[in-house]
Structures are given as structure tokens and as C-alpha cells.
Amino acid sequence: MWGGRFKDGPDAIMEEINVSIDVDRHLYAQDIAASKAHAAMLAAQGIITASDAKNIAKGLDTILSEIGKGTFTFKRALEDIHMNVESRLSELIGPAAGRLHTARSRNDQVATDFRLFVRDTIDETDAALAAFQHALVERALEHADTVMPGFTHLQTAQPVTFGHHLLAYVEMAARDRGRLADARKRLNESPLGAAALAGTSFPLDRHATATALGFDRPMANSLDAVSDRDFVLETLSAAAIASVHLSRFAEEIVIWTSPLVGLVRLSDKFTSGSSIMPQKRNPDAAELVRAKTGRVIGSLSALLIVMKGLPLAYQKDMQEDKEGAMQAFAALSLAVRAMTGMVRDLVPDAARMKLAAGEGYATATDLADWLVRTLKMPFREAHHVTGRIVGIASKQGVALHELPLKEMQAVEPKITADVMKVLSVEASVQSRTSYGGTAPKNVRAQAKAWLKRLQKEQKLG
């Protein structure tokens, strides 16, 4: 490629550290699409002939087909996807292949390819997250009335519904999709035509190539176009946050499926056994989703470290931008699909959930609220009175709704039998009708609204 300047070939270790084809071969579709757009523009601008452009496009289509069929031979000596494609193109159409690289550099070429790849990845991830939301919403609607314990500090706090709990992850996934959409909007500018770093003296139509590749516009500064990877960083950041959300849910599934807790059960489809303990049913899918998060966060950190000290413009360090990111995106994709499968597969133990929801005096806040609402007691006083009543119930080893009324009246004489109506877990969740609350009617309304929204998105998409 640069034999005019160099007399000797690279040392074997130089070739090994410099080669990137094992990674950037995954950009082949984007590289060929960008090359076709570039060749068409060059012909339209009179920089190359229409005949050459036609032959280039035909040859590139052949290469695309060969790679797709697995018959293309990638050569490590040619370093990267760009030179592998160009070399094969030369074999197919002869000297005209050499005209394809007019007015471009591998610097703007790889920046364009990777933007296209990340854009495609965002679209695929968004679709996967939408499917995840759909699964959650359907199960939330199914379990709008299923009472379960809500936790703070992993201690029983207040009763909620299982449907409400699932809808929390629908909201998180919506924000994840929003972050990815924002990243997509910002990355959707074309570096093609920025050349090595300074632009080119050829009369390019960069708007034409940007339009052909689905970009909103060409990037306005040639130095910026070839030297920044913030579009990868931003997408990895959104991916890392999404992975954390999945990991939190996976952690809950691990806890819930433990026989010590027993709130939900996963089938054989998403669990595995033990090589030595025949009785084991391990939630391996959830555990692996939890672990994949480290790969995504690690890739973000690694690329931030690569980029933090680089002066403008392109540096070879930036060759390290793709492998980690591709692994991270693949890990997230797998994790989302695994979580979607587990959501559809899991079976909650409604009886155990209801029992657990009442443990730990979870309706104590309902008692305090009744004192405020009915007896017009200041909340701090109600909190104190309730605490004393809980102490008595705990000493007697009974639930709040099982404590005799006279025991409550010994603490606060104005308490009436009407208080018993608010102390069950069912009454507790039904009373939480504030916007965003866990009341079954709220859950049903929110789930139906989300189903309508997701179905509308699917039709528009």
C-alpha cells in the first residue's frame, strides 16, 4: 500500500500488533455501502467516469455477496477491511479499483463505517428493548392484582403489586431507549470526504454522500470528523446504564428464585443443574446477565482511557475503539434477549408473595395514615403511636391485623374497629391510588397505556 515510501516489509510482531482485520471485518457491509456512495458521488462530480463507477459498484456487490456467503478470503497481510475489499475489487475489475480511493482516506473511511455500524446497533438494540418492554407490560397486566412485598434496604417495606414492580423496569427501559435515540441523533453526521484530516482539493459533494448513507448532514469540521469517537462513547454510556438496569432485575430474579425466598420460579429453559448435586436448579441466565454488565462498563472505561490523551487528529490508538465496543454491544443484545425470555418464563408464587408482603409489619404505614386521616393526628405523633402498636404486636408474635383492638386502644383510645379495614395487604395496595402508585387499577391503566404506545411504535416502525 505504501511501497513507494517503504523499502522493507513490517516485522512479524509489527504486523501482528498493527492488523485489525479480525475485528473490523464486521464492518464489511458498512464499508461497502460507504464505498458505493463515494464512487457514485465521484462520478456525479466528474472526478471519475460513469463507466468506472458502474464497474466499481458491480465489483463491490460481488464482494458483498462473497462475504455474505462465506467464500471471501480475508488476508491479514492487508491489515483491515478497507484494504481487503480494495484488493479484491482490483482482482475483479482491474485498475479502475484504484480510483475508488480518490479524495478519501482510511481515516474518514473507518470513521464513516463505524458510525454506520453503531447506528445499526442502536436500531437493533432499540427493537430488542421494545420487545423487553412488551414482555414486561403483558406480565404486569396479568399480575396487576398479585400482591408482593416491596423492599427498601432489602427489608420488607410496604406491599406492592408484582405488576407495579415489573412496570418500574418498563420505565427504565424507556429511558434507556431515549438515551440511545439521543446518541443516534448526534452521531448521524457523515465524516466521509473529510479525507485524512484537512479535507480535499477535489470538488466533492459531501451532502450527496451523507444523504445516500442516511446521514442528516456531513460533519462540518474535517479534523473533528476523523479524530473523535464520542459517538461510540455516548452509545456505550447508554448501553452501560441499560446493562445496569438489566443487572438489577437479574439480581432480583436470583434472589426471588432462591428456595429461601421462593417468590418466583424459572423453568428448565432458563436454569441449569449441578454436575454433583442432582437437586440444584441454578438461575444461570440471570447470573450471566448480571455478569455481562461488567463487560459493557469495562468497554466504556477502556475507550475513555484510550481517548483521553490523544491530540488531534487521527492516532493509531483509535484502532482500539472497535473490539471492546462490539463486544459490549453484543453482550447487551444477548442480555436483553435473555431477560425478555425470563420475563415471559417466570412464574410467581402468588400465595408466597402475599404471605411475604404481610411479614415485617408492612402495613404499619397504613395504620399511621389512618390515624392522620381519621383522627386528624399529626403524622409524627401517628408515627410514634404506630411504632408502639407494632412493638406490642411483635412481642405477641402476631400481625397487625391480628392484634386485638383493645391492645391498640390501650395505646390510643380513639382507635376504632374501622382501622382493621386498612391493615390487610390487599387493602394497602388498593389504597395507593396516587399517580404512579401501586394500586391495581393504576397498574392496569399504566400497562394498557404502555401496550398502546408500544403497538403504535411497532406500526410506525
Tell me the catalytic residues: 153, 274
The three-point CA angle 441-444-449 to 5° equals 125
324-357 burial by CB neighbour count: b if 16+ within 10 A, else e?
A: bbbbbbebbbebbebbbbbbebbebbeebbbebb
Cell numbers given for 276: 454433583
Cell numbers given for 369: 395514615
Task: Classify the C-alpha dihedral 255-260-264-265 as positive or negative.
Answer: positive
For 168-192, give the DSSP string: HHHHHHHHHHHHHHHHHHHH-EE-T
Q: How far apart are CA 336 and CA 270, in angstroms?
A: 14
Residue 195: CB atoms within 10 A of its CB come to 22
3-state secondary structure of 159: strand
Cα–Cα separations (whole angstroms), residue 190 to 44, 46, 211, 217, 222? 18, 21, 9, 6, 10
Q: With contact defined as beta carbons under 8 Å apart, do 340 and 130 qualify?
A: no
Nearest to 116 by CA among 47, 20, 184: 184
CA 152 to chain CA centroid, nearest Å: 25
Which H/E stretch holds residue 156? strand 155-161
